[in-house]
Structures are given as C-alpha cells and as structure tokens.
Structure 1
Amino acid sequence: MKIHPLHTRLLPAALAVMSFAAHADDPPFQRVLVEGSRISQLGEADSAAAGTVTQSQLQARTTYRPGELLEATPGLVVSQHSGEGKANQFYLRGFNLDHGTDLRTAVDGMPVNQRSHAHGQGWTDLNFVIPELAGRLDYRKGPYSATAGDFASAGATELTYVNRLTSGIANITAGQNGYGRALIAASPELGNGTVLVGLEAMHNDGPFTRGDNYRKVNGVLRYSEGFENNGYSITAMAYRAKWHATDQIPQRAVDAGTLGRFDAIDPTDGGSAHRYSLSGKWQRSDDDNSARVSAYVIANRLALFSNFTYFLDDPVNGDQFAQPDRRVTSGFDASYSWHHHRADVASTTTVGITAQNDNIHNGLYRTRARQVTGTTREDHIVETSGALFVENQTRWNATFRTVAGLRADRYRFDVHGDNAANAGTASDGILSPSVSLVFGPWARTEFYVNAGTGFHSNDARGTVIAVDPKTGEPADRVTPLARTRGLDLGVRSEWVPGLQSSLSLYRLDMDSELLFVGDAGTTEAGRPSRRHGIEFSNYYKPVKWLSLDADLAYARARFRNADPAGDRIPGAVEGVAQFAATVTPTGPWSGALRLRWFGPRPLVEDNSVRSKATTTLNGRIGYRIGKATHVELEAFNLANRRASAIDYFYESRLAGEAEAVEDVHFHPVESRSFRVSLTHRF
C-alpha cells in the first residue's frame, strides 16, 4: 500500500515506530525510521522546531517528576519552585514560562493549561500523567499552526496515551528521601476493543527538612476500538494529591547560616489537588477524506497555601496566603479534511472548530497556618471561547510544499465576586494567520521559512478590574488577548547516516509579556517584548546499541519600550543545553546519562542582579532478568550540585528584621538521590 506523506499523521500509532519502505514512485521525502532512532521528520514537519518523540524514547528518559517528560522537546527545561504537588516551572525560547504561560500543553486532546487560575495564568499541572502510558510526544515551537491557539506562542506540546500495551506492567520503586511508588497497568481485550487500565500510588518527601509528604493516587481507565485513524476511545482519569511545601527561601538567611538550603520558613505551606476527567475521541479516514472529533469534561480543584514574603505585610501573623481554585472545564474539537491529488500536486485542506468553557470559583485569602484571617478577593468567573480555523497543506512538486492557515478566536469573560467594582463582562476576538514554506529535500536536507501570529489570553479578572483588591487604589485593565508575531528560519538534515540535525533561527514579538510577581504570588501583564534566538538539535545513532543527543539553545530577550527600570525581562532564560548518551546493547545491561544545563538569567530589569547557572547530571543503569523482569537503578543530581531550580529577586522580611530587604530568593535543586525499581511484564 502506498502511503501519502500528507496522510502520515493519520496512521495508527503502531505504524509510527515502523520503518516504511519507499516504493519507486514514492516522493523522496518518504517518512522513514532507522531501527531504534527517532522518527524522520523529513517530509512530515512544517518547521525545524517541530517533531515527534516516540514511546521508546520517552521510556528511556530518567525523570524525577512526570512533567519532565516534556524535556524531550529540545530546548525545554522543566523545574520546580515549591512542593511536588505544585505545577512545574517551564523555560523555553528565552521565557521563564512560570507554570505554563505561552506553552500550550495537552494530554490526549485535553487542555492542561488553566485559564484565569488563582495562582497564575496558564497553570499547567502534569502530576496526573503516568509516564509508562505515554505513547508519544508531539511538539512544535512558534505560532505557526492554525490548529493551536491560546498559550502556544513559545511552543505547544501534546502527550498521547497508548490504547494498548504490548504487555501488562507491574512496577514497584523505592528510593531515598521517602520515595515509594507502585504501578500496575494492563490492556486486556474486551469485545471488539481493548480496555486500558492503569493505577499508580506514590509518596515522596524530597530532601527537605520538613518533608513534602507528597501523596498521590492516580488512575486511568480507557476503552478503545480500531486504530488512530479509524476508531474511537473513551477515557476516564482520576488524580488526588496532598503535600507540604518548602517554597523559595532568601539567600541572605542561608549565607548567614540561620537557614539551611532545604529548610522552610513557614512550615504550614503546601496544598492539595484533584483532577477528574472524562473524554472521548472519534476518527474516520479514507483515501479522500478524514474526520476527527474529541470532547472532554475536566473537574479540577486546588488548595494552595504559600508565603513568599514571610513577615513583610503582617509582622504578627505572617504573610501566608491561600489561592483556592475549583473549576469545571468542558469543550470539544472537531475537524474535517479533504485530500486532493492531481498529477504531482497533493493537497490537504482542513477546517476545524473548537470551543471551551471554564466555570471557575477562586479567591485570594490571608491565612495563618492554613486558617483564613481575611479575604482579599473571591470571584466566580465564566470564561468561554470558540475558534474556527482552516489550514491547507500542499506539495507542489518533489522539492516544494506549503502550509497556510487562518484561525479566528472569540473570547467572553464574565466576572462576579465580592467587590462589585471588579465585576463585569468583557469580550475580544483575534485573527491569527500563518504560513510555512518548505524547500527540499536535497541530499536529505530540508529548509523552512515560517511566519505567523498567535496570542495568549490574560486573566479574566484583569479585563474588568477597576480597583486593586489589596490596596483599594485604582487599577488599569489589561487587554483580553495579547498578540504575538513570530518568524522562524530553519534547516533539517539527515545527510550524515545515523545523524538527525535541525537548526532554527527565530524572532518572537509579544504585545504584552506575562510575568510572575514573586511577592504577590501571581502573574500580571507586562510590557511588550522581543526575543531573538538560535536552536541546534542533534540525535546521532552511530551503532544500534548507542544513541547520542545534543540540544543547544540561546535566546536574547528584551522589553521593546523604553523604561528607566531597564529593558531586561526578569527570569528570561538565555542559554539551555542538554547532552545525553543511551546504551542499549543486546545483552541484559542498559544505561543512560543526561547532562542538563540552563544558564544565568537577569532577575531585574537593569540586569544588576543575575541568577547563577544550573547544572544537573542524571543517569540510570538497568539489568534484565529473563524476558519479563527488569531491575533498574536511577540516580539524580549525581554530582550533588548546590544549584537553584529557580531564582527570584524581590522584597521580603524575616522574623526579627526591622525593615524589608531586597534579596535573591531561590528553591534548591534536590540533592543527590537514588531509586531502585523492579518491573515485571505479564
């Protein structure tokens, strides 16, 4: 059967890890896969900054937490600045993305970013992900696809769960710092389909003086029939967790010896969360048409207690605050594609519609030891959005193809709460065109030109605000939808046997930067910004049993308007590098090492205060016992570096200090630790 390259996205997931033999009349950029290597993106990707990571590659990664699976995206760093149950910290393309601003993340077609969240716009909590069930990771960077909307300006990632496991999995893991995890998963056949079931329980204290006592229970139940291009699935997920938190601490106290690196100032910080979801996907395709429909309902709840300034505002009770958030998110996505063939020209036109509604109750309260002492604000928000898009992919001849798209989004914000001055409705719409030109391949090398616009939404409360709920002073409203404009120039090559390389040069302009405010514990809209950058990604497989990765990225981020404070963007990452070696010989042994570095960052606008670079080295070694049992030793921060996972600069006051002090506040990278796991397949 001849497989057209524009149809490869519709192939079953099982085919994504096979090697396709090209027919004599197939185009020269037929998608191929060398055994054990990455899937070739020649003829598939629309830019040098897009790709797919296979299940075997994801399984080979050494991850301290589930969110680190996204680090398979070249140039992306996933970190943490609080207890394990909190959403991760993300860095990409010159951004400190806080908990997910401008990085759109989805799992099985469901959005993970939470709009108008109590703690920060775009809150992205991936703790419900079970890594063993992840079938692939698709990523793209830049606003160059009509299928991606809100939060996708820096990048977009999607994890897709498998429908079937090749065998059942039973795993038990134990490690230092109170780490324990148990997992069982299987996919028995039922009727005409398959049931996927997975159940996970985990505990982790971390190296902190007051352990995180992170406890989670996580489950997945799915029924599916057919394949990715012709079939359907219905999935239920459930996740619950509780934790203590050691938030960022001031450098001055550590330097004075009054506070250890893993000590906490407020021992009652922490939180709890749950996430329940029900989703369904349906798809049909043939040689001429394809259709996809997905829908979801997600119930999220978070109770979060933080204290970043200690005794700055309230020298008696302290500055702890609560940011509860509960919501029901519902939505659907539908698309229909027509495939056209005429002589040497092949074209696919896709039209789609998407809608999302968030019914949100959240607030901001003053607390002491998790007991409410006062209310700053409490709100009921209904945020509704819808979008229409059209995208055309055309291969004009053997060495030139184009992708052109247009997306139209419309948003409505409805805010009601305890202060009538900060209530009301707002609405906004935006058009986002994009175009990609792909030249080649010549000598298994392609060249890309990408241009497009995107956007991020701002917090609904900021679109109707009139007075600051904390001070009572007048407050300015923010633009509901902030536009971004991007340009990428790239090249991808597989000319050297076994080596896959991609190079991207990019520029991204943003009308309003979303910044995390350390002493307020939330994000706010900031000044317009511009980023230039370069990314260089390499994957080399010199022999069947060895693969090498090298990903390098550099970015220059600046505010675009003049301000006496300066033009640097606080927290903007400038350099990122990852190097890895994975060894998979034919014998029972296997292993891997991964070095991750992300460089110093400006912490204030005039660049007078900067963070230090952070370097970690993780590794694993495994031994196969027979055909079904595997034991593995994982090591984290092997060099035991005393580095920071995050740094901020702001005012705080410790008990006994007469006045506020401006200082660097940091959360440490976890000290060296080991985990041993036993996995049996049945």
Structure 2
Amino acid sequence: MHKPVILIFSVCSLFSYSKSLQADPLSSHAIENILIKGRQIDLLGHSSSASEGIIGNAEILDRPLLRTGEILEFIPGMVVTQHSGSGKSNQYFLRGFNLDHGTDFSNFVDGMPVNMRSHGHGQGYTDLNFIIPEIISQIDYQKGTYLANSGDFSAAGTARFGLQNTTPNEISFTLGENAYQRVLAKGSLNTAQGNLLLASELQGYDGPWQDISEDTRKVNLLSRYSQRLENGQFALTVMAYDNSWNAADQVPQRAINDGLIDRFGSLDTTLGGESSRYSVSGSWLNDNWQANAYIIRSELDLWSNFTYFLSDPLNGDQFEQTDSRTIYGGEISRNWHQHVGSMAAEYVVGVQTRIDDIAEVGLYNTQARQRRNTVREDAVLQRSIGLFNQNTFTLTEQWLLHIGARYDVMRARVESNEEVNSGKSSEGIVSFKGGLSYQMSHNWQSYFNVGQGFHSNDARGTTATRVPQTDEAVEPVDFLVRSNGAELGIRYFDSVTFNASAALWYLDMDSELLYVGDAGTNEPSRASRRYGLEIAAYYWLNNRWSIDTELALTRSRFTEEATDEGEYIDGSLPMVFSMGLIYKADDVWQTSLRLRHFGKRTLDSFNEQRSASSTVLNGNLKYNLSKWRVSIDLLNILNSKASDIEYFYASRLNNEAAEGIEDRHIHPMEPRTLRISATYAF
C-alpha cells in the first residue's frame, strides 16, 4: 500500500535533482581532513537530533578498556557487559533495552554490517572482537531511528565505525594479570599513488576463573589501501579475525552460597567457542556520490550450558550452536543541492542491499563438546533491499527541516532438517522520518524528531510450524516488526569550555518477539513502550583538565496485558550514570579515571526480582617520552564484587528436584586488574 508513496517521494527528489544541475552546489559532502579530538566538535547546524554525535580517535585512546566491545560505551547511556568468555559477543544495554547481543542497535564498520540476521546464537548477533580500537578513525552514532539511511536493527540506534587511512608507525606490548598478553603492530606506507595501512593484533588471556583457564587466543589482521581516484577517495580493506576460548558462563547464586563453587567457579568446565571473520570491503566517495561493497565470511561454534541438568538429568543440558555464512552487499547513494528561492535544500537518494547465504545454522545437544543429537539444522538464504530518501531544507538561518523515507523488503528461503519447518517468506515495510531544529543562538540549538523503524525476526521463525523435538504446533511469526519513536532535545556548544546535550524520548514497539537460539524456538512477547531522559555534559576546566558526565533514565513497560504476566520488561535497565576525568600535561603526562554505574534491573515481568546495581572505576596513566610511551591501566580499581550480568530463571543441579529451582544466575565482574603497555614509535 505504501510503495507508491515512497516511489513518488523519490521521483520528486530526482526531479529536484534535474532542476539543480545548473545551481551552485553546496559542499557539505566535500572531502575534508578533520581532526576530531574527543567530543570537542561543533555539531550545531549540522546534527539532526540532540542524541547523535561523533567520537574521535583521540578520545578512544584516552579511555582504558577491559574488552574491545566496550568501545560502544563511548555512546552516552550505553552499557557493555559479558556473561561468558571473551570471544563471545558482548551484552549491550541502551534506552531501556536489554539488547542481548545487538537486536535493536545496528553497527557498521567501514560500511559493512556487523549485526547478523538469523544467527545461531541470537537475532542481530554483534561481535566487535574483530575491531582493533587503535585503527578506528571515528565513531558516528545516532540514537533513535530518525534518519532514512538507518534500517534493520536500528530502533534504539546506530553506530558507524570509520577506519583510518594512515596511522602512526608503532609496536606495542601489553602484559597484565591472569596471563593477559597483547601485541599490536601498525603503520602506514606512503606510495606514489596512495597509502597502505597495515595492522596486526595478537591477544592471549586466561582470566580470573577458578576451575578453568579461559585460554583466549585472538588474532586480528588488517590491510587498507587508500588513494584519490576520479576526483574522489577510494579505499580497499581486507580484515581477518580468528579466536578461540573457554568460557565461564553465569552460575546460580545458590551454588556459591552453598560453597559448591567460588564466585569465579564453573559448573561445566567444557564450555567455550571458536569464531572467525574474514572480509573484503571497498568504498569510494566524492562530493556527490558514496558507494561501498563488501563480502564477509563468518563462522561460529559455541558451547553453552545455562540450566545444567534441568532438561536432561543424565547427560546434562550442554548445547552447541553453529553458524556458517557468507554475506554479500553494498550501498550506493547520490546527494545534491539546490536553492528554492531563499531556501537551500539537500537531497540524498540511495539503495542498500544485502544477501546472507547461511550454509549451516544449527543447534545440537552435546556433552563435553561432543554432539549427542540434533535439535535443529537449517540452511537459510536471506536477501534484503532498502531504498531511502533523506531531504534537508534550510528554511531560514535558524530553522532546519529533515524529511526522510525508506522502503525495505526482505525475503528468505529456509531448508530445515525437519521438512515442516522449511519454506519461503517475504515482507516489505515503509518507514517515515522527520525532524525540525531551531538554532536559538550561536551556542544553542533545539530539536524535535519523529521516526519509524523496524527489526527483522529470525527467518526460521517465519516458516516454522512445529517446535523441534516436542513437535508442538506453532504459528509462523511476522518477518518485520515496526517501531515508532519521537524525541525532544537541546544542545549547547562552546568550543572553549562546555558542551552539553539533553533529550526526552519515547519508543513504541509492536512486539519484542525473539528467536531463542538456545532452544531453537520463538519466544513470544508483547507490544511495549519505553521513554526516558538522557543528559550528556563535557567540561574543559582548562587546557589540561576535562570532565564529562552522562546520565540516562528510562521507564520500560509492556503495553499489552497477558494472563499470568506482569507489565515489566525483563532485563530492562532504568538508570545508567557515568563520569570521566582526564588530565593532560604538554603531551607528556596523561591520566584518566572513568566511573560507570549500572542501575538495578528488573529480572521478571512482575518486578519481584531485581538485580543488584553495579559500579566500576577504571583508571589509566600514560607517560610519553620521545619515541616511547608507557601506559598503565588499572581496571576495577575499587575491586567491586558486583556482577557483570544477572538473570533469574530455573536451573537444576545434581540431586535437586526434577522441576529445578528458580534462582539468580550471575557472571561476576572481573576483579581488580593491572595491565602495563610499552609502545615504541618508529
């Protein structure tokens, strides 16, 4: 029904383009060399909302990180935790969402999507371990879904990671407690035509666990060639990532209380995983065109056990999840400018396409990583195409109007080991976006935004008619799930002293249904509503000291009633607070402290079970001397005994009742950890 609307919308823009060929072009998309140092960049008159921003390489290097995935915590209100081994995707929380491993927050690296559709472990699975933080040029983030170039998985927001074209020549060695070892080598070579960047990262880690050695063995390789080409900038990037690890998953609180295991102990010592990702991506852009294409090869084998002996008292409940796929895709967009009377206009029209060729996505019952039987095994071919149009109108010197629309269609073919669950499915969805901003003065700008978004459900759920093993009848689910959001915000910027933003927002979702990779089934849910307040402030006391504070408050509820269910959304996060202090002295001494408070979360729909809050303080000290730099990271300075994650569900230990016991299951925050790095520039 909506196809003609978006087609007319795009045709009108193309007609405007034909009229603008004779107009003087504006140059907002010109290729520039911009140094972004922390949040000290003026977005007034350029941003479309109060909750978007740009994070520069300098700020990324300023902050100590326990895990690679924590680079997303540069986004105000985002929390990144872990409930398993270091090689597995992190748990993400933002705007009242337990995003699990990435269901409603989309991520891109060099134009390549990171979220995995119809994945073996969970819809939207987002593993950032293949990123080398030192090679990131900047992170562009948008919370909410108010721009038309954001599609699948973007209800809570989007982050786009850019990679450097050149980098300082350095080799770095890091040693830390629990056998932490990291070697990073990176550098650039200037050729007659362009630049060649090479980087490699080797990392090992045993972890603080009592009963296992994590034995993480991670390898990252990157090669990137860039040059000016046909009045534009071209880049070709090759990335390779391989990792293996043992995992200490979450454990029941009663096992700790009864002295069966230590807080850092394990009930199943044969858990872990193996993961790899190989990609080739290319991009080209100039003042008017942007294009990228990619091919990704990704594999995952993951062994987990969350309920121990609840389903199988004899062999245990360990299971293996596999995912082996090749992803092809790309994007091309065209932008142009024109003047309509005294009003300036910018138009962007583009198309995005993606194919997930999933050779195997499987779930198997295992014991000590040996397969006992197959729960479900599928091959999936999933394709999508998205057309988008984003228009910006400068109504006056103070008023900006943003209008956008996109149309997405998704198709899938599922070939299951159980024929009744095989089939084809498809669905299309139209999303409209809009925003209005008013620059009140040189330092102040206000915003109002509305937008529709969506996330895709696992393709296997759209064709399934029977539950694996139980043979219970089920109804196929919708392929695409609608979200509707709005935001009222304000931003202040002073290039010398102060930078702040605040936003009131809300988000409605038609359903929170997820495909549960742990069981091979769909988990039905209800429509929901979230709303909240976010504040971020950055203050430069002088040219040496800076301080920042970020606060996010959220209320999350189901809006549909259900028998024997409450209104609270499991895992929703009501409050996040963080604060940072950075000191720099003439580029010789530098120190930083980072405090993050993770509020209590509801663990069941009646809010009868709530997690404990957690607070962690991390610190960093750097000394630069000629070609050498020494860095000391002290993580969890206060040695907090809090948990990284908490869940509430039933599990069964040996000799317990057959129905198991409902209990809290925790993964402890890692204890105080010291890491020392030495970097040599050559």
Matched, 1:407 2:402: no
Q: Distance in 2 between matches of 1:109 and 1:193?
A: 21
1:475 aligns with 2:477: no
Secondary structure of the residue aligned to 1:324 is strand
Q: Which amino acid in structure 1 is aligned with residue 668 of structure 2?
A: P
Instruction: Identify which range, 592-601 or 506-515, moves more after superposition.
Output: 506-515
Residues 591 and 9 of structure 1, relative CA distance in 2, 3 Å threshold: farther
- SS of the aligned residue for 1:442 comes to coil
Residue 594 of structure 1 is matched in structure 2 by 594
Matched-pair contact (CA < 8 Å) for 1:299–1:329: yes
1:311 maps to a residue whose letter is F
Give the Å deviation of 1:229: 8.6
Q: CA deviation at 1:532?
A: 0.8
Letter in 1 for 2:670: E
Q: Which runs of structure 2 are paired with 1:610-629 in the superposition (5 Å)?
A: 610-626=610-626, 628-629=627-628
> What is the CA deviation profile of residues 170-217 of structure 1, one whole-angstrom value per residue up to 9, with x for unaligned ones?
100000011000010011012310001001100011211212111011
Corresponding residue of 1:93: 95
1:328 corresponds in structure 2 to: 326
Question: Which residue does the alignment assign to 2:528?
Answer: 529
Deviation at 1:586, TM superposition (A): 1.2
8 Å Cα contact 2:321/2:361 also seen in 1: yes
* 1:199 paired to 2:200: yes
**Letter aligned with residue 570 of structure 1:** D
Residue equivalent to 1:23: none
Structure 1 residue aligned with 2:240: 238
Alignment partner of 1:584: what SS?
Answer: strand
Question: SS state of the match for residue 541, structure 2?
Answer: strand
Sort the Cα spacing of 1:368 and 1:7 in 2 relative to 1 into closer, same or farther, 3 A. farther
**1:37–1:408 CA distance, 2 compared to 1 (3 A):** closer
Q: Distance in 1 between matches of 2:520 and 2:266?
A: 17
Structure-to-structure mapping, 1:35-46, within 5 angstroms = 38-46=40-48
One-letter amino acid matched to 1:217: V
Q: CA deviation at 1:441?
A: 3.5
Contact 2:245 2:274 in 1 (8 A): yes
In the TM superposition, residue 496 of structure 1 has moved relative to its aligned partner by 9.2
- Check 1:64–1:15 CA distance in 2 against 1; reply closer, same or farther (3 A cut): same
Aligned residue number for residue 153 of structure 2: 151
Given that residues 519 and 652 in structure 1 are in contact (C-alpha distance below 8 angstroms), is that contact kept between their aligned partners in structure 2?
no
Supply the distance in 2 between the matched residues of 1:301 and 1:406 (Cα, whole angstroms).
34
Aligned match of 2:224? 222
Match of 1:643 in 2: 642
Q: 1:175 to 1:228 in 2, by over 3 A?
A: farther
In the alignment of these two chains, the number of paired residues is: 655
Q: In structure 2, what is the equivalent of residue 463 of structure 1? A: 462
SS at match of 1:188: strand
CA distance in 2, matches of 1:66, 1:393: 35
> Structure 1 496/677 Cα, relative in aligned 2: closer, same or farther at 3 Å?
closer
SS of residue matched to 1:121: coil
Partners of 1:42 and 1:441 within 8 A in 2:
no
2:607 maps to: 607
Residues 221-230 or 364-373, more deviating: 221-230
Question: Which stretch of the first structure deviates more once superposed, 87-96 or 202-211?
Answer: 202-211
Per-residue deviation, 1:143: 1.2
1:122-521 paired onto structure 2 within 5 Å: 122-165=124-167, 167-209=168-210, 210-226=212-228, 230-285=232-287, 290-341=288-339, 344-360=342-358, 361-494=360-493, 498-514=497-513, 520=519
Secondary structure class of the residue paired with 1:640: coil
* SS of equivalent to 1:543: coil
SS in 2 for 1:69: helix
Asked if the contact 2:80–2:92 (Cα under 8 Å) also holds between the matched residues in 1, the reply is yes
Contact 1:518 1:650 in 2 (8 A): no
Residues 277 and 15 (structure 1 numbering): CA distance in 2 closer, same or farther, change over 3 Å?
same
**Whole-angstrom CA distance in 2 between matches of 1:475 and 1:364:** 19
Kindly provide the amino acid, as one letter, of the partner of residue 174 in structure 1.
Answer: L
Structure 1 equivalent of residue 8 of structure 2: none
Distance in 2 of aligned mates of 1:139 and 1:359? 28
Instruction: Check the 8 A contact 2:180/2:203 in 1, yes or no.
Output: yes
For 2:85 and 2:515, the matched residues in 1 are separated by: 18
Q: CA deviation at 1:516?
A: 8.2
For residues 122-180 of structure 1, the C-alpha deviation after alignment (integer angstroms, 9 at most, x for no partner) is 00000000011000010001110100100001010011110011x20110000001100
Q: How far off is 1:296 after superposition?
A: 0.2
Q: What residue number does 2:581 align with?
A: 581
Retained in 1: the 8 A contact 2:104–2:157? yes
Q: Which amino acid aligns with 2:178?
A: N
Q: For residue 579 of structure 1, report the CA deviation from its aligned partner.
A: 0.2
8 A contact 1:61–1:69 mirrored in 2: no
Match of 1:15 in 2: 34
Question: TM-score normalised to the size of structure 1?
Answer: 0.94
**Given the two structures, how large is their TM-score scaled by the length of structure 2?**
0.94
- What are the Cα deviations for residues 616-665 of structure 1, in whole angstroms up to 9, with x where unaligned? 10010111122x21001001111111111111111100122133000111
1:28 is aligned to none
Q: Distance in 2 between matches of 1:602 and 1:15?
A: 43
Q: Structure 1 residues 521, 681: CA separation in 2 closer, same or farther (over 3 Å shift)?
A: farther
Matched-pair contact (CA < 8 Å) for 1:248–1:666: yes
* Correspondence list, 1:533-572, <5 A: 533-563=532-562, 564-572=564-572
**CA deviation map 1:557-598 (0-9, x unaligned):** 001101231010000011001100011111621100000011
Quote how far apart the aligned CAs of 1:518 are. 10
Identity in percent: 43
- Show CA shifts across 1:254-303 (max 9, x none): 11121111111110100100000000001122xxxx00110000000000
Structure 1 unpaired stretches of 5+: 18-34
**Do the aligned partners of 1:11 and 1:228 also contact (CA within 8 Å) in 2?**
no
1:314 corresponds to which letter in structure 2?
D
Q: Distance in 2 between matches of 1:464 and 1:251?
A: 38
CA pair 229-445 structure 1, distance change in 2 beyond 3 A: farther
Give the residue type in structure 2 aligned to 1:215.
R
Take 1:532 and 1:231, find their aligned partners in 2: how far apart are those partners? 41
* Distance change >3 Å, CA 371–CA 76, structure 1 → 2: same
Shift of residue 5, structure 1, vs aligned partner = 12
Q: Any idea what the Cα deviations from partners look like across 1:92-121, whole Å, max 9, x if unmatched?
A: 000010000100011111000000001100
Q: Distance in 1 between matches of 2:657 and 2:341?
A: 80
Contact 1:10 1:229 in 2 (8 A): no
Residue 521 (structure 1) shift: 8.6
- The answer to whether the 8 A contact 2:363-2:520 is kept is no
**Aligned to 1:187, what secondary structure does the other structure show?**
strand
Q: Distance in 1 between matches of 2:259 and 2:101?
A: 31
1:9 Cα offset (Å):
5.1
Deviation at 1:67, TM superposition (A): 1.0
Aligned equivalents of 2:647, 2:38: Cα separation in 1: 41
What secondary structure does 2:608 align onto? coil
1:408 and 1:229 mapped to 2: Cα distance?
31
Equivalent residues of 1:228, 1:283 under 8 A apart: no
Q: 105, 110, 119: which is aligned to 2:107?
A: 105
Q: In 2, Cα distance between the equivalents of 1:533 and 1:227?
A: 46
1-structure distance, mates of 2:517, 2:642: 19
Counterpart of 1:74 in structure 2: which amino acid?
A: P
CA RMSD of aligned residues (A): 1.8
| CA separation of 1:177 and 1:511: change in aligned 2, threshold 3 A | same
Deviation of 1:399 after TM superposition, in Å, equals: 0.4
Cα distance, 1:7 vs structure 2: 4.4
CA–CA distance in structure 2, aligned partners of residues 49 and 389 of structure 1: 21
Change in Cα spacing, 1:484 to 1:506, as seen in structure 2 (3 Å) is same
- Post-superposition Cα deviations, 1:372-406, rounded to whole Å, max 9, x if no partner, equal 00110100001100011111011111100011000
